[in-house]
Structure 1
């Protein structure tokens, strides 16, 4: 797959088929992840793969509870504000996001592959997020979709205990990744504010200098 196709069409997929992700595919995803840049080559990351139905059932219970807490969290209001600023219809955008999240929650136990990402002294994610995005790009090349969720942060202690994480050694949960073959279609995100609206040059209040009204890659251009 062309790198630009992967970059432009990889998006979060919350609706997935229950079909298992083969071990060899998992290996390619994680091997790509660990090739990501790591500050000082410290590699302070650990990827915990979960496929056991019993563990997923326990995690499903925790996830439902945490999702309720997330919706009660005042910080969630920031999402609505961001959607409003993009010019999207707030009610419709929120409806789609909630419906997608509801589907993911309801079908949590059917997700074939969960990967928990842990780190020590992660510096705000600087050492793990490049690896996480490598994993998503590698998954895209394999036809596998996925989503990253921080919802379980509301019960981090419970999750780490369930998974046997040696927190006394400094390991902390960064996020959970869910992977599976998507029910939806790949495509270039169409609801992005263009570069010239979100970028400047030399000084915050100076224009970027070039307008880019449309994506610089499209399926037709990549064909």
Structure 2
């Protein structure tokens, strides 16, 4: 088993950041390490314990390049419409633009998907059976010295990506996680709103 970083549970939860510019594009990622992290992720809860999730792990450069091109197209439309208003959003925009240009070079891409019919109306029950496991995967990767960032921009071209990867129509993609070792592991908690501004006790 891969040696884990010496992090307490609270440290792990609060320092698993969105990593883009600090992804090490030159260091290979053994598939066994990704499998270890996925084994941990599969312990996440799912509706009715049905575990209808699927994990598409991409390592082939040609396949990654095709997916990255769809991501790039979607990102260009997204970045053209965004508002950069301060230093923080400018930094985020720069980081996001960087990932767009290097996504094909990230050692591993993982797409989390869920099998079943998408319900009409509120879909929380459906996606609640996938997204906790995807976040557990991000945590498990961080514990092993790897990083990722949560992105869904490729879903603008979900059907085209499904055709590239041979994903059947009843399987719906939910998240794309670019996976690489990180340049350093000294991540810190990020700035967040004050808890009392979003906390509602016994009602709104």
Q: TM-score, normalised by structure 1?
A: 0.79
Matched, 1:108 2:103: yes
Q: Please report how far the alpha carbon of residue 72 of structure 1 lies from its aligned counterpart in structure 2 after TM superposition.
A: 5.0
- SS at 1:17 equivalent: coil
- What is the count of residue pairs matched by the alignment? 188
Matched, 1:9 2:11: no
In structure 1, list runs of 5 or more residues that go unmatched.
Answer: 81-89, 205-223
CA distance in 2, matches of 1:133, 1:172: 17
* Larger Cα-atom Rg: 1
Match of 2:149 among 147, 150, 165: 147
Matched, 1:165 2:173: no
Structure 1 segments, 4+ long, off by >3 Å, are 121-124
Q: Please report how far the alpha carbon of residue 201 of structure 1 lies from its aligned counterpart in structure 2 after TM superposition.
A: 0.8
Contact (CA 8 Å) 2:103, 2:178: kept in 1 or not? no
Bigger mean CA deviation after superposition, 60-69 or 151-160: 60-69
Contact (CA 8 Å) 1:21, 1:180: kept in 2 or not? yes
CA distance in 1, matches of 2:77, 2:115: 26
CA distance in 2, matches of 1:136, 1:21: 15
Q: How does 1:208-223 map to 2 (within 5 A)?
A: none
CA distance in 2, matches of 1:150, 1:45: 16
CA distance in 2, matches of 1:175, 1:43: 16
Q: TM-score, normalised by structure 2?
A: 0.86
- SS at 2:45 equivalent: coil
Q: Please report how far the alpha carbon of residue 47 of structure 1 lies from its aligned counterpart in structure 2 after TM superposition.
A: 0.1
CA distance in 2, matches of 1:151, 1:51: 20
1:15-45 deviations in Å (ceiling 9; x for gaps): 2112121122111110011110011111111
Matched, 1:118 2:128: no
CA distance in 2, matches of 1:60, 1:203: 44
CA distance in 2, matches of 1:120, 1:59: 20
Residue aligning to 1:186: 187
Q: Please report how far the alpha carbon of residue 91 of structure 1 lies from its aligned counterpart in structure 2 after TM superposition.
A: 2.3
Residue aligning to 2:3: none
